[in-house]
């Protein structure tokens, strides 16, 4: 069990900032002082002043963002704040940070820094405007729209172009990657938004990033190539429960068909710029594109994940691998002959050499401490090494930097125990603090587990869940998230529910996540069907979200190659993988999903969890003990009465 933190006295006085009559209360209408927020703020201030490591689980409504921002801004340290997603990053920088700064009256320099792919690359925009080879008219239209915006933007942050979808085909053409960026050799370096953002970050006292960017930069540093993030004396991870999964992506290695195809496309673009007569580059690029497409066919038609060894020895795979290797080598030779013509061609030659080495490694033998797996998409594939265990590299990362490290989230502990999270990141016996939510869950929410559902392995399980959910959705008048543990179940639900209810039906994948949430709030009576990304990092307050329905306990699929390998590793060490690994992970994920319901002290609603294992298996008690203390029922009529009551109260209040 992690040790309970002892709050140390520092020059920071939380009561003056976050207390009754404090600066935030004077600055923010309706601000309420919360004891848990004061406690957390003092703990963060102490850890910052003494360069210590601290873990804080702060229940929903604690106000953890203000609790760490206030002491961070007043600490005099150079601070990195890393959030779980780009959306949370924007919210923190554009809304929360200015609010706290205004209340404190400070002139602390701050900066928002995102990954390369979030910034316009003027050089690549110019190359592709002159190239003229595009897959369709839509891409041409999008490129023209980006070109118009490029003359108006000051930040170069592509999030400003809200009229282009996140998956628009133009984005890879006008943004850079670590592979294709020319760095200091770029002829348009002075116009580069990324370089301007980096410079501002290097001069700032507090920089807001996201986890993916943080670990991508760590990976680059370890490789000795460069540094995106400025050095800092304090690092604060918000939504820290995501760290083990995100870090594992960057402590491993991968190669994708996208990287190979981007190289082929960029090589032709650079050739047309400065070496138009060297048609061999065009021929070699086309050959590489064809060989990559041939290799994708060998993976099979379905989009799936699997163990690399299952495919590596298929009859057609070794010849497909050799064909890609030869095509890469040929393109590299052609680019080598032309590399003196321009920095762009020189960069493409270096990329071809690096990708050749990476492709050899990732299609070769599996290192003993890595999971070697693949994932296929409609037209592409990724081959990846992922560490079986990130504890050592994570611990080494922390030990190498003499900084304060703050880990906070609403979901770090399992039944008041931090050991699952701390062991995953290799930082055991840390000072820890667990703060309950200030919400009155017993009055605000009802927790419903329906009776009579079949076993979760039953082929008709999802249909039974929908039958049980239908009267609840009618009673709630829509206003619901229905969260699934698989895309298959989500798709089945979308087909089954369509036409059965009068409320708007919003389905994950039908449009960008931000647009779905915007429409959900605007409708006020919609039903949103979601999986993965809607289980966390989503904040909908008020009556628009009055019901959250969860189809199953969110156990990670043992068929996933990384999960399966880690289960085997636990068994090999003589440990029970279900108790030590699968169960704690599912409980933390469930806490995140359940946390979507009550986001404010005036919110009310019903949490419906359909999985019969919750009450039928011994481990169900651990889930129940980790969820907020809501009033519980197994009666549909009690759910209906609850909605009737809260609707009556809301109508009276608005009259």
**Closest by CA position to 114, among listed 66, 48, 176:** 176
Tokens 């089945």 — which residue? 492
pLDDT digits 0-9 by tens, 378-431: 889 999 999 999 999 999 989 888 889 999 999 999 988 899 999 999 998 789
239: left (phi over 0), alpha (psi -120 to 50) or beta: left
pLDDT digits 0-9 by tens, 305-333: 999 999 988 999 999 999 999 999 999 99
DSSP state of 549: E
Same domain, 57 and 70: yes
Same domain, 489 and 409: no
pLDDT for res 5: 41
Q: Which two tokens stand for residue 128?
A: 């592709």
Beta bridge partners of 112: 208
Same domain, 106 and 145: no
**Closest by CA position to 581, among listed 564, 598, 594:** 564
pLDDT for res 226: 44
Same domain, 630 and 521: yes
pLDDT for res 35: 95
**Single pTM value for the model:** 0.89
pLDDT for res 138: 87
Rounded to 5°, angle at Cα 113 from 110 and 114: 160
Same domain, 517 and 628: yes
The CATH number for 291's domain is 1.10.275
Same domain, 462 and 400: no
The residues near 638 (Cβ < 8 Å, ≥ 6 apart) are 446, 448
Same domain, 615 and 538: yes
d(CA 144, CA 226): 33
Same domain, 511 and 601: yes
Q: How far lies 560's CA from each of 418, 489, 563, in Å? A: 25, 17, 5
Q: Are 486 and 531 a contacting pair, CB within 8 Å?
A: yes
d(CA 488, CA 462): 10
d(CA 287, CA 97): 51
**Closest by CA position to 295, among listed 380, 361, 236, 375:** 380
H helix intervals, 50-109: 64-74, 86-91, 97-104
User: 151 is in which domain, residue-wise?
Assistant: 120-191
Q: Which two tokens stand for residue 587?
A: 């409980």
Same domain, 481 and 603: yes
The CATH number for 399's domain is 3.40.50.300
pLDDT for res 655: 60
pLDDT for res 510: 86
Q: Which stretches in the chain have pLDDT values below 50?
A: 1-10, 223-226
Same domain, 454 and 514: yes
Same domain, 634 and 539: yes
pLDDT for res 533: 85
pLDDT for res 230: 67
The H or E element containing residue 385 is strand 381-387
Give the three-class secondary structure for 155.
coil
H helix intervals, 400-460: 419-424, 441-444
pLDDT for res 508: 92
DSSP string for residues in 101-140: HHHHT----EEE---GGGB--HHHHHHHHHH---SSHHHH
Same domain, 403 and 465: no
Number of domains in the chain: 4
């Amino acid at each position: 069990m992690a040790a309970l933190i002892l709050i140390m006295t520092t020059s920071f006085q939380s009561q003056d900032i976050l207390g009754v009559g404090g600066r935030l209360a004077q600055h923010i209408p309706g601000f309420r002082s919360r004891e848990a927020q004061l406690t957390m703020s003092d703990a963060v201030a102490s850890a910052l002043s003494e360069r210590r490591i601290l873990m804080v689980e702060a229940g929903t409504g604690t106000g953890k963002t203000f609790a760490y921002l206030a002491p961070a801004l007043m600490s005099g340290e150079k601070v990195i704040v890393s959030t779980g997603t780009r959306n949370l990053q924007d919210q923190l920088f554009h809304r929360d940070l200015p609010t706290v700064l205004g209340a404190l009256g400070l002139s602390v320099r701050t900066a928002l820094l995102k990954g390369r792919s979030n910034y316009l690359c003027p050089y690549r925009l110019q190359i592709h405007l002159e190239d003229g080879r595009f897959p369709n008219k839509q891409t041409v239209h999008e490129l023209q729209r980006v070109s118009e915006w490029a003359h108006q933007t000051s930040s170069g942050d592509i999030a400003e172009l809200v009229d282009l979808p996140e998956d628009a085909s133009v984005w890879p053409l006008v943004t850079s990657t670590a592979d294709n960026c020319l760095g200091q050799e770029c002829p348009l370096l002075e116009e580069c938004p990324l370089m301007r953002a980096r410079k501002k970050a290097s001069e700032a006292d507090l920089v807001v990033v996201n986890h993916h960017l943080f670990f991508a930069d760590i990976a680059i540093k370890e490789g000795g190539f460069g540094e995106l993030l400025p050095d800092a004396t304090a690092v604060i991870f918000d939504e820290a429960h995501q760290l083990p999964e995100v870090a594992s992506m960057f402590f491993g290695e991968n190669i994708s068909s996208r990287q190979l195809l981007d190289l082929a496309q960029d090589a032709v673009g650079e050739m047309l710029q400065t070496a138009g007569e060297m048609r061999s580059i065009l021929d070699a690029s086309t050959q590489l594109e064809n060989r990559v497409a041939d290799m994708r066919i060998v993976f099979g038609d379905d989009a799936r994940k699997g163990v690399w060894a299952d495919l590596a020895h298929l009859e057609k795979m070794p010849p497909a691998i050799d064909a890609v290797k030869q095509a890469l080598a040929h393109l590299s030779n052609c680019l080598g002959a032309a590399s003196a013509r321009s920095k762009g061609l020189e960069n493409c030659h270096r990329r071809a050499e690096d990708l050749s080495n990476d492709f050899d490694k990732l299609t070769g033998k599996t290192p003993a401490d890595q999971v070697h797996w693949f994932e296929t998409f409609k037209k592409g594939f990724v081959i990846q090494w992922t560490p079986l265990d990130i504890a050592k590299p994570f611990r080494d990362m922390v030990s190498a930097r003499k900084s304060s490290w703050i880990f906070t989230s609403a979901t770090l502990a399992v039944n008041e125990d931090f050991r699952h999270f701390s062991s995953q990141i290799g930082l055991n016996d840390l000072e820890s603090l667990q703060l309950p939510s200030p919400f009155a869950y017993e009055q605000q929410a009802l927790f419903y587990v329906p009776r009579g559902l079949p076993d979760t392995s039953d082929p008709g399980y999802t249909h039974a869940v929908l039958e049980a959910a239908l009267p609840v959705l009618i009673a709630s008048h829509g206003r619901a998230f229905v969260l699934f543990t698989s895309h298959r179940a989500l798709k089945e639900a979308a087909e089954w529910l369509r036409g059965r209810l009068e409320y708007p039906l919003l389905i994950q994948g039908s449009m960008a996540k931000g647009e779905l949430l915007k429409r959900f709030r605007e409708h006020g009576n919609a039903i949103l069907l979601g999986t993965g990304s809607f289980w966390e990092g989503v904040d909908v307050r008020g009556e628009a979200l009055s019901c959250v329905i969860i189809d199953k306990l969110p156990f990670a699929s043992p068929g996933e190659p990384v999960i399966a390998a880690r289960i085997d590793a636990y068994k090999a060490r003589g440990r029970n993988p279900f108790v030590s690994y699968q169960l704690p992970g599912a409980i933390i994920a469930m806490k995140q999903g359940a946390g979507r319901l009550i986001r404010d002290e005036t919110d009310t609603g019903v949490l419906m969890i359909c999985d019969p294992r919750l009450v039928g298996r011994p481990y169900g008690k651990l889930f129940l003990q980790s969820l907020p203390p809501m009033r519980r029922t197994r009666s549909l009529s009690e759910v209906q009465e609850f909605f009737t009551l809260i609707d009556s109260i809301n109508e009276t209040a608005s009259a």
